C-alpha cells in the first residue's frame, strides 16, 4: 500500500515536471514567435485592467476603427452653417460622396495633413500619449504627426494668422492648452487652425479662430474616451458636438507605421482611382463615432 | 420551437446579406459594379502593399484568348493586416482566381473581396465579425 502511494507520488511529480517543461517550452516558443518589434493588430486588452491612474493618459492606445473591440462612440452633430460656411462647403467634394477621381479632399488627392480636429475624428486608429513636465504630447499613427498640449498655465494665443508681424502662423494642429479638471478628466482648448484643413471628412469648414474643446476621460486603466465640441461664429451659427470616441490600451504597447506617402497616393490615383472614374451622389456617410473603415 | 426557427431564418438571412455585401472602402463603392466577375487563371504581375489601398496587378486571358492587364485594389494595410494579409501575401507569378468588381468606367480596374491562390488558400477582404465566411484564417 505504502509502495503504491509512493509510486503514485513519483508518477504525479513526473507528470507535473514534464508538463511544466512542456509549458515552459510552449511559452518560450510563443515568445520567440512574438517579436516585441511587431504590431499585433488582433491583440486587444481584456477587461478594465484595474482602476484608472490619476492624471495620466500616457501609453499606447488603439483608436476608433482599429478593431471591432473598440466601443462605439457617438457621431458628430450636423452643423448649422453661416452663409460663408455654406458657400465653402458647397465647393468641397468629399471622399465618400465622390470617388478618388472626383474628390477635392486635399488628403485624398495630395496627402495633405488631415489637421486637427479631423485627425481625431477620422483615421485615428492608434496613437501614443506622452506626458512631459509642461505638456502632454499626442503622437498619431496616421501620418506620424504629433500635437503638443501645454499644461504650464499659459493662455491660448490671440490673433493667430493676423496681419501684424508678431502674430502667430496658423497650424494644422493648432495651439492647445490643457488642464486636469479632476483626477480623471483632462480638458483641452485649441485654436489657431490652418484653414486649408477640413473640420470633418464631409468638408465642413472652419476658420483660424475656431475653438475646439476636448474632454478626455480616463475611464479605467484600459479605457479612455474623448468628447469634442467646436465653436466658430464665422462658420457655424452655434457650437456643436464633434462626437465621442473611445480608445483601448494596446497590450504590448507597439503599433505600426501608417503614413500617407505622396508617391504611393500618386500611384494609386494614376493606376486605380482615376481610371475607375467618379460617381457622385453616394449616400452621405455617418461622420465619426468610431465607424470601422477600410 | 417557432422562436428557434425564426432565429435560424434571421441568422441565415443576416449571413447571406453579409456575404452579398460588396466590400467597403474609405471612398465608397459607387464607381464599381455591384456584382463580381470570377476571373480564373490570373497571373500576378505586381503586388504593392501601400496606402491608401494596396494594388494587385495581374494578366488575364479572356474567353476569346485575349490577354488583358488588370489592376485591382484591396483595403488599406491596417485593415487588411487585421484579416491576415501582409506585404508578402502575393508575389509576381502567383496564379490566382479573383472575384473582381469592375469599374463602371469600363477600365480594366476593379476591386476584389476574394482571391483564391493556386493551392486553394482563400484570401478575403471582409469584416472581422464574419470569421468563418471564407473558411480558416489565412496565415
Give residue limits of the domains in chain A. 59-158+169-276
Q: Which residues of A touch B (CB under 8 A)?
A: 39, 41-42, 66-68, 95-97, 99-101, 103, 108, 125, 256, 258-261, 264-265, 267-268, 271-273, 275-282, 285, 292-294
- Judged against a pLDDT cut of 70, whether residue A132 lies above it is answered with yes
B27 to chain A: which residues are within 8 Å by CB? 95-96, 99-100, 103, 108, 273
**Could you read off the pLDDT of B71-89 as tens digits, one per residue?**
999 988 888 888 888 899 9
A264 to chain B: which residues are within 8 Å by CB? 48, 50-52
> Cβ separation of A99 and B30 shorter than 8 Å?
yes
Cα A40 from Cα A253, distance rounded (Å): 10
Please give the residue that has the higher pLDDT: either B1 or B113. B113
Compare CB distances from B55 to A260, A271, A285 and report the shortest one's residue: A271
Tell me the shortest Cα–Cα distance from B24 to chain A, in angstroms. 7
A267 to chain B: which residues are within 8 Å by CB? 48, 50, 55
- Judged against a pLDDT cut of 80, whether residue A155 lies above it is answered with yes
What mean pLDDT, rounded, does chain A reach?
88
- The predicted model gives B112-125 an average pLDDT of 88
Q: How many CB pairs under 8 A join A and B?
A: 107
- Judged against a pLDDT cut of 70, whether residue A283 lies above it is answered with no
The CATH fold of domain B23-124: OB fold (Dihydrolipoamide Acetyltransferase, E2P) (2.40.50)
- Judged against a pLDDT cut of 70, whether residue A188 lies above it is answered with yes
A94 to chain B: which residues are within 8 Å by CB? none
Tell me the shortest Cα–Cα distance from A223 to chain B, in angstroms. 21
For the entire predicted model, the pTM comes to 0.81
Tell me the shortest Cα–Cα distance from B103 to chain A, in angstroms. 5
pLDDT for A287: 61
Please give the residue that has the higher pLDDT: either B7 or B98. B98
| A109 to chain B: closest CA residue | B52
> Quick one: cell of A187?
480638458
Q: Which of the four pLDDT bands, split at 50, 70 and 90, describes residue A21?
A: very low
Q: What percent of chain A has pLDDT above 70?
A: 84
Tell me the shortest Cα–Cα distance from B2 to chain A, in angstroms. 32
A219: left (phi over 0), alpha (psi -120 to 50) or beta: alpha
Q: Which of the four pLDDT bands, split at 50, 70 and 90, describes residue B13?
A: very low
> Quick one: cell of B122?
482563400
> Cβ separation of B50 and A278 shorter than 8 Å?
no
Cα A145 from Cα A186, distance rounded (Å): 21
pLDDT for B97: 96
Count of alpha carbons within 13 angstroms of residue A120, beta-carbon side = 29
DSSP-assigned letters across all residues of chain A: -HHHHHHHHHHHHHHHHHHHHHHHHHHHHHHHHS-TTS--TT----S--SSPPTT---EEEE-TTS-TTSPP-BPPPPP-B-HHHHHHHHT---BTTB-TTT---HHHHH-----TTHHHHSS--EEEEEEETTEEEEEESBTT-EEEEE-SSPPPPSSTT-SSTTSPPPBSS-EEEEEESSSSEEEEEEE-B-TTS-SSTT-----TT-EEEEEEEEEETTEEEEEEEEE-TTTBSS-EEEEEEEEEE-TT-----B---HHHHHHHIIIIIHHH-----PPPPPPSSS----
- The predicted model gives A114-125 an average pLDDT of 96
- Domain regions of chain B by residue span: 23-124
> Cβ separation of A264 and B50 shorter than 8 Å?
yes
- Judged against a pLDDT cut of 90, whether residue A234 lies above it is answered with yes
Compare CB distances from A275 to B26, B79, B109 and report the shortest one's residue: B109
Compare CB distances from B31 to A256, A260, A276 and report the shortest one's residue: A276
Amino acid at each position: 500500500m505504502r509502495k503504491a502511494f509512493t509510486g503514485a507520488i513519483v508518477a504525479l511529480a513526473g507528470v507535473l515536471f514534464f508538463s511544466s517543461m512542456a509549458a515552459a517550452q510552449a511559452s518560450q516558443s510563443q515568445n520567440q514567435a512574438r517579436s516585441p518589434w511587431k504590431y499585433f493588430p488582433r491583440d486587444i486588452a481584456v477587461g478594465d485592467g484595474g482602476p484608472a491612474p490619476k492624471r495620466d493618459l500616457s501609453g499606447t492606445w488603439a483608436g476608433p476603427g482599429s478593431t471591432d473591440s473598440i466601443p462605439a462612440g457617438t457621431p458628430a452633430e450636423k452643423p448649422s452653417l453661416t452663409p460663408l460656411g455654406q458657400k465653402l462647403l458647397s465647393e468641397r467634394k468629399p471622399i465618400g460622396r465622390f470617388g478618388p477621381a472626383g474628390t477635392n479632399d486635399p488628403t485624398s488627392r495630395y496627402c495633405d495633413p488631415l489637421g486637427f480636429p479631423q485627425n481625431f475624428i477620422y483615421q485615428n486608429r492608434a496613437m501614443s500619449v506622452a506626458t512631459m513636465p509642461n505638456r502632454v504630447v499626442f503622437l498619431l499613427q496616421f501620418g506620424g504627426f504629433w500635437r503638443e498640449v501645454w499644461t504650464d498655465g499659459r493662455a491660448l494665443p490671440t490673433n493667430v494668422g493676423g496681419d501684424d508681424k508678431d502674430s502667430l502662423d496658423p497650424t494644422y494642429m493648432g495651439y492647445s492648452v490643457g488642464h486636469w479638471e479632476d483626477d480623471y478628466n483632462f480638458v483641452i482648448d485649441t485654436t489657431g487652425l490652418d484653414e486649408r484643413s477640413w473640420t470633418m471628412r464631409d468638408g465642413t469648414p472652419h476658420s483660424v479662430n475656431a475653438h475646439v474643446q476636448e474632454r478626455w476621460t480616463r475611464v479605467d486603466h484600459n479605457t479612455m474616451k474623448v468628447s469634442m465640441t467646436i465653436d466658430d461664429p464665422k462658420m457655424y451659427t452655434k457650437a456643436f458636438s464633434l462626437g465621442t470616441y473611445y480608445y483601448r490600451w494596446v497590450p504590448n504597447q507597439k503599433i505600426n507605421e501608417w503614413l500617407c506617402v505622396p508617391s504611393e497616393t500618386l500611384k494609386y490615383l494614376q493606376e486605380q482611382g482615376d481610371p475607375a472614374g467618379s460617381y457622385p451622389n453616394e449616400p452621405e456617410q455617418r461622420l465619426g463615432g468610431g465607424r470601422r473603415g477600410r | 420551437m417557432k422562436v428557434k426557427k425564426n432565429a435560424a431564418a434571421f441568422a441565415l438571412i443576416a449571413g447571406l446579406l453579409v456575404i452579398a455585401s460588396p466590400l467597403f472602402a474609405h471612398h465608397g463603392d459607387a464607381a464599381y459594379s455591384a456584382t463580381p466577375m470570377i476571373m480564373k487563371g490570373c497571373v500576378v504581375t505586381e503586388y504593392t502593399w501601400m496606402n491608401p489601398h494596396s494594388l494587385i496587378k495581374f494578366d488575364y486571358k479572356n474567353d476569346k484568348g485575349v490577354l488583358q492587364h488588370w489592376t485591382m485594389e484591396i483595403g488599406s494595410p491596417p485593415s487588411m493586416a487585421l484579416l491576415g494579409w501582409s506585404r508578402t501575401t502575393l508575389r509576381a507569378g502567383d496564379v490566382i482566381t479573383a472575384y473582381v468588381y469592375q469599374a463602371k468606367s469600363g477600365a480594366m480596374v476593379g476591386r476584389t473581396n476574394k482571391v483564391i491562390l493556386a493551392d486553394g488558400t482563400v484570401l478575403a477582404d471582409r469584416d472581422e465579425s464574419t470569421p468563418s465566411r471564407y473558411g480558416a484564417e489565412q496565415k
